[in-house]
Amino acid sequence: MSFPVLIYRWGVYHWEDFRFRDGSSKDKYWIALVCKVIHPKTGSEELIPSLIPTSQWEKYKARPRWLIDTVVLEPGESKFFPKRTILDLKNIQWVKEDTVYYALKNRKLTYLGTLEESIIVRVEKAIREAETLSPKDIKILLCE
């Protein structure tokens, strides 16, 4: 295969035309929360947990309940996100491995690098203390 075929835990990717559950689509950053390096396969129904960062700070700030179970990154805190960015654990995306495979194959998904360690520590703490995630999802997301 001539396209990159590995997905890494805490890998930050740019996904062109990412499709949301409601059918809408938009170019988005995508942070993989897989527990091991995976080689996506066609036809696989396995689900890959991921975060979709958002820079919609004004919307979140206006609705304080939206800030529950989030990690807020300030401008310059991450090389990937120049604006204030929210990692919202209430919006974990579970993407079929098959979908990731085709995004890679069609060059819609590009690996940018690994999330900074200090941010990983904050996200893992937020997952561990999450009010809105089930105990089962917390274990999955923490690779326990």
Alpha helices in 57-141 (DSSP H): 57-62, 97-105, 117-128, 135-141
The residue behind tokens 């604006």 is 83
Q: Which two tokens stand for residue 13?
A: 């990717």
Q: How does pLDDT run along the chain (144 residues), one tens digit per residue? A: 344 567 889 999 999 998 887 888 899 999 999 987 777 666 667 899 999 999 999 999 899 899 999 999 999 999 999 999 999 999 999 998 888 888 988 889 999 999 999 999 999 999 999 999 999 999 999 999
pLDDT, residue 2, reads 44
pTM over 0.85: yes
Buried b (16+ CB within 10 A) or exposed e, 73-102: beeebbebbeebbbbbbebbbebebebbbe
Please report, for the chain, the start and end positions of each structural domain, with discontinuous segments joined by +.
11-141
The answer to whether the beta carbons of residues 13 and 109 sit under 8 Å apart is yes
pLDDT, residue 43, reads 67
Beta strands in the chain (DSSP E): 11-19, 25-32, 47-51, 70-73, 85-88, 93-96, 109-114
